[in-house]
Amino acid sequence: MTELGPIPLNAAGLDIENESMRIIDAEVPLPRPFGDTEWPVVRRMIHASADFELLDLVRFHTRAVTAGLEALRRGCPVITDTRMAQAGLSPRLYAPLGCEVHCLISDPETLERSRLTDSTRAAAAVDVAAQRFQEAIWVVGNAPTALLRLLELMQGKAVIPNLVIGMPVGFVQAAESKQALLESEGIPFILIHGRKGGSALAAAALNALAGMALARGADQIRNDISPLA
């Protein structure tokens, strides 16, 4: 019989989450293959998937965390490629930051553009979003065609993302699209090398950054109101 862990069956969700994080930390002892600001992102992704292979697959641009935190604190809009990724971005994290989360996959303009250009809805949604939002964090967790179209627009300077979370999953163009993002210049990214990915992992990565942005914001407020020594 499987031995139950220290968390009782009626435990609160936060207790279970904290115990999960403790277990992950214990199974990935120091020194870890990521910096102090990168590890919370990877840990959240492992928590979402129970997949420790991510330790070898996650890649960060050198400015990814800094750029992501700066954009979130400015209330930057977030664009997702799927409703699933959008659903994974909890309003309790983004509303306090002033960040609105948008998915245009079913927008009427997207549907019309997809029909006229004979492109996937995911790619058409990128075109529509690029026209509507001058700055954004882009979260691509499912559709390689969305990431490839975003890269095309980036090359032409039609859009300059604040951060790209590139984690499309699958066997057709998924690995290739992420390799192209890895080789792109100038745009901060977080990606999963190879075939693995998915909306849940992409959402988990940004949720980790949003939690950091909120925590650091609260720390700054406490510092501002603390009496001088």
**CB burial of residue 61 (10 Å; 0-12, 13-18, 19+):** buried
Could you please report the per-residue DSSP string of the chain? -PPP-SS-TT--HHHHHHHHHHHHHHHSPSSPSS-TTTHHHHHHHHHHH--TTHHHHEEE-TTHHHHHHHHHHTT--EEESSHHHHHTS-HHHHTTTT--EEE-TT-HHHHHHHHHHT--HHHHHHHHHHHH-SS-EEEESS-HHHHHHHHHHHHTTS---SEEEE---SSSSHHHHHHHHHT-SS--EEEE-SS---HHHHHHHHHHHHHHHHHHHHHHHHHHHSPP-
Task: Report, as residue numbers or ranges, the catalytic residues.
Answer: 47
